Amino acid sequence: MREDPAVKELLADILDDGEVVRKLYAPSEKDKGTSLAHWDDLRVEMMHGNRWFLKQNIDYDRLRELLNYLIVDPTTLSSTWHRARIISDDPYPLDKMGAPPLKKAGHGRANPAGIPYLYLGSTPATAVSEVRPHTGDVACVADFAVPTMKSVDLRDPRARISPFELNDDEVGQMHADLPLLERLGEELTRPVLPQGAPFEYVPSQHLCEFIKSCGFDGVVYRSSVSDGINVALFHPDQATPLRVSQYDVAKVEVHVFAQP
Q: Give residue 12's pLDDT band: very low, low, confident or very high (50, 70, 90).
A: low
For the segment 81-91, the average pLDDT, to the nearest whole number, is 96
Q: What is the 3-state secondary structure (H, E, C) of 228-251?
A: CEEEEECCHHHCEEEEEEEEECCC
Residue 253 has pLDDT above 90, yes or no: no
**Average pLDDT, stretch 197-205?**
94
Q: What is the pLDDT of residue 190?
A: 87
Max mean pLDDT among 181-185, 223-227, 239-243 falls in 239-243
Which pLDDT band holds residue 33 (cuts at 50, 70, 90)? Answer: low
Long-range contacts of 69-73 (CB under 8 A, 24+ apart): 69/157, 69/160, 69/161, 69/165, 69/174, 70/152, 70/153, 70/154, 70/157, 70/160, 70/161, 70/181, 71/150, 71/151, 71/152, 71/153, 72/150, 72/151, 72/152, 72/153, 72/220
CA–CA dist 235, 100 (Å, integer): 12
User: Would you say residue 22 has pLDDT above 60?
Assistant: no
- Determine the pLDDT at residue 20: 55
So what's the pLDDT on residue 59?
85
137 near 249, Cβ under 8 Å? yes
Higher pLDDT, residue 2 or 77: 77
Specify the pLDDT at position 254.
84
C-alpha span between 33 and 39 (Å, rounded)? 12
Domain locations along the chain? 28-248
24-38, 128-142, 147-161, 226-240: least confident range: 24-38
Q: Highest mean pLDDT: which of 14-28, 56-70, 183-197, 210-224?
A: 210-224
pTM: 0.84
Query: Taking 70 as the threshold, does the pLDDT of residue 25 lie above it?
Result: no
The terminus-to-terminus CA distance of the chain in angstroms comes to 33
pLDDT at 74 over 90: no
The DSSP result for the chain, as a single string, is: ----HHHHHHHHHHHT-TTGGGPPP---GGG---HHHHHHHHHHHHHHT-SSS-SS---HHHHHHHHGGGB--GGGS-SEEEEEEE-SSSPPPGGGSSSPPGGG----SSS-TTS--EEEESSHHHHHHHT---TT-EEEEEEEE-----EEE-S-HHHH--GGGS-HHHHHHHHHHHHHHHHHHHHTTS---GGGHHHHTHHHHHHHHHHHHTT--EEEEE-SSSSSEEEEESSGGGSEEEEEEEEE------------
The per-residue pLDDT of the chain, averaged, comes to 88
